[in-house]
Amino acid sequence: MVRRYLGLTVGQVLLIGWTALTLLPFLLILAFSFRTNADLYAHPLGVGGSYHPENYLTAWQGPGDGAGMVTFFTNTVIAAVLALVVTLTLGSMAAFFATKLSPRLRSAFLGVFLVGQVVPFVLIIVPYFQVANELSLLNQPAVLGVVYGVLAMPTTVLVLNSYYADFPYELIEAATVDGLGEFAAYLRVVLPLSKGALTAVGMLMLVYVWGEAQLGIVMLQTPQSQTVSIGMLGFQGQFVSDLGPLFAGLSLATIPVIILYLVFNRFVTKGIALGGVFR
């Protein structure tokens, strides 16, 4: 009994220590976001000196005529919404109707998405840029959102197909007996009962869009079109002589992700677990 209690205590202490180490960088960024350059060098731990909350207003509006966090947030929301619409609409339909295929066709169908999931991301950046450039689609957050939705399709299909493989088809049969077609049963029966799985995939999609920078940096080249992750890279040069607004921008960029994770973390965990199942 004593050994078990001691083991639990040590485990909790380690978890608390790990949590503290994880939170420490964010707490330092939050503290630095209220300082001037002079205070940062005079008080490197963020304690003492004067505090300047106006750094957040500077970061929100942007430096001079440059874009600020308000622009970056708007572009990110546009890209994220379109990515969610594309990947959840097309991915959920593909995942559900794949369960109607024969085992051999279903394996081949899912194998295509599995191959798409393991293709190195760096290999597709240049082709996407060339196509967008030829069609004059650069610097369009909406276009980038559609591309993100397509890129997330393999994960979406594999995760949702694992869920739909165990779906109670008695409900669908009952709906068809009542006169609904296959597609109508999918819309009116399957989707309402798939909110948990769809939320899990949606959260994974949002986290991906919020942090992706490799493709965004080549497709969004003007400050007014950039998302949060790309815009923060530009902040490094714009606020090189005034680090307070830079840290304020980092804080603003981090807080929404933390809030979303705290609210929906169980769905994210469920989505990752479902993604590891491939029948």
DSSP string, 214-253: TTHHHH--SGGG--HHHHHHHHHHHTTT-HHHHHHHHHHH
Res 176: pLDDT:
79
DSSP class per residue in 57-79:
HHHHH-STTS--HHHHHHHHHHH
Res 267: pLDDT:
64
Is residue 135 in some structural domain?
yes
Distance CA 130, CA 125 (A): 9
**Which range marks the domain in which residue 74 is found?**
64-241+257-275
Residue 68 has pLDDT above 70, yes or no: yes
Length of the chain: 279
Q: pLDDT grade, residue 86 (50/70/90)? A: very high
The mean pLDDT value for 153-182 works out to: 82
Res 276: pLDDT:
46
Is residue 153 in some structural domain?
yes
Residue 194 CB burial class (10 angstroms; 0-12, 13-18, ≥19): buried
Is residue 213 in some structural domain?
yes
Distance CA 273, CA 162 (A): 10
Res 169: pLDDT:
78
Look up residue 260 and give its two tokens. Answer: 């979303």
Give the rounded percent of residues in the chain with a pLDDT score beyond 70. Answer: 88
The mean pLDDT value for 240-252 works out to: 82
Res 144: pLDDT:
93
Residue 80 has pLDDT above 50, yes or no: yes
Look up residue 130 and give its two tokens. Answer: 């060339």
Residue 32's identity, in one-letter code, is: F
Distance CA 38, CA 126 (A): 43
Q: pLDDT grade, residue 146 (50/70/90)? A: very high
The mean pLDDT value for 87-115 works out to: 88
Nearest to 69 by CA among 275, 241, 235, 236: 235
User: 168: number of CA atoms within 13 Å, CB side?
Assistant: 7
Nearest to 139 by CA among 231, 227, 220, 218: 220
CA 33 to the chain's CA centroid: 24
- Domain CATH for 161: 1.10.3720.10
The mean pLDDT value for 161-186 works out to: 80
Helix (H/G/I), strand (E/B), else coil: 165: coil
Is residue 43 in some structural domain?
no
CA dihedral in degrees (208, 212, 218, 219; nearest 10)? 40
| Inter-residue contact 110 to 148 (CB < 8 Å) | no
The mean pLDDT value for 182-200 works out to: 83
The total of other beta-carbon atoms located within 10 Å of residue 137's CB is 16
Is residue 133 in some structural domain?
yes
Is residue 30 in some structural domain?
no
Highest mean pLDDT among 39-48, 60-69, 111-120: 111-120
Q: pLDDT grade, residue 278 (50/70/90)? A: very low
Look up residue 162 and give its two tokens. Answer: 């694992």
Is residue 6 in some structural domain?
no
If one counts the domains in the chain, the total is: 1
Res 87: pLDDT:
93
Is residue 74 in some structural domain?
yes
The total of other beta-carbon atoms located within 10 Å of residue 60's CB is 17
